[in-house]
Amino acid sequence: MSAVSAVSLAPESRPPWVRTITEEDLPPLSRLDEEVFAEHAYPYFVLRQLYDLHGDQLLVLDDGDSLVGYVLVGTQSDKSRSWILGLGIDSGSRGRGFGRQLMAEALRRLRAEGVGEVRLTVEPANTAAVELYESLGFARLDHHENYFGPGDARLVMTLPLRR
Ligand SMILES: CC(C)(COP(=O)(O)OP(=O)(O)OC[C@H]1O[C@@H](n2cnc3c(N)ncnc32)[C@H](O)[C@@H]1OP(=O)(O)O)[C@@H](O)C(=O)NCCC(=O)NCCS
């Protein structure tokens, strides 16, 4: 047995890893998005078109068997600003650092691309997400009472990437 194979992990023991999505990921990504966001999930055709537009900015966390989570990013053409368009972790896998892992990798890639700022929206009562974003350096920018329509409030948060 070579030194390399002696230290390599068996596939089932490999920790989940972040990777760019493929076309084959779209059906399981859509199922996971529906599991996480229920009636607020993206319709399949929207995920499809996000993939067609900029699939290289859609990241999934893969455990070798299924998708554990995802983060969807969109960047303005002049790279002045990106938006986090979605972040979700499978309900059975939360609280294990996966949301932080996905966000950290998304931010690392945006910094490497020279993007100036990242924004996102989050339900004001979503404590877990707000605490995650604040721990990553996001600050509260605005509170829109009707951001996604009447009574559908969102907190807008921002993180400058260029200092
Ligand atoms: C929000 C979400 C993505 C967090 O993912 P996660 O993998 O469970 O989070 P992590 O284990 O990486 O935790 C990272 C941080 O999030 C915060 N956090 C996570 N769960 C929390 C909870 N139940 N209560 C308060 N803060 C929490 C903490 O600040 C935590 O920091 P720590 O690493 O010091 O503990 C996940 O709960 C989720 O998918 N929720 C449903 C979808 C959603 O709300 N998406 C965001 C929409 S804007």
**Model confidence over 12-40: pLDDT tens digits?**
578 999 999 999 999 999 999 999 999 99
Tally of structural domains, the chain:
1
Is the model's pLDDT at 1 over the cut of 90? no
Reported as a pLDDT band with limits 50, 70 and 90, residue 6 is: very low
* Containing structural domain, residue 22: 13-160
Give residue ranges with CB within 6 A of ligand 1.
36, 87-89, 94-100, 122, 126-129, 131-132, 135
Is the model's pLDDT at 155 over the cut of 50? yes
- The verdict on residue 5 lying in a domain is no
Task: Give me the CATH number covering residue 23.
Answer: 3.40.630.30
Residues 55-107 have pLDDT tens digits of: 999 999 999 999 999 999 999 999 999 999 999 999 999 999 999 999 999 99
Residue with CA at minimum distance from ligand 1 atom 20 = 128
- The verdict on residue 2 lying in a domain is no
- The verdict on residue 6 lying in a domain is no
Residue 70: per-residue pLDDT? 98
For ligand 1, mutation pick of 70, 93, 100 (most atoms within 8 Å of CB): 100
Burial class (CB in 10 A: 0-12, 13-18, 19+), 83: middle
Q: Which of 38, 118, 15 is nearest to 72 (CA)?
A: 118
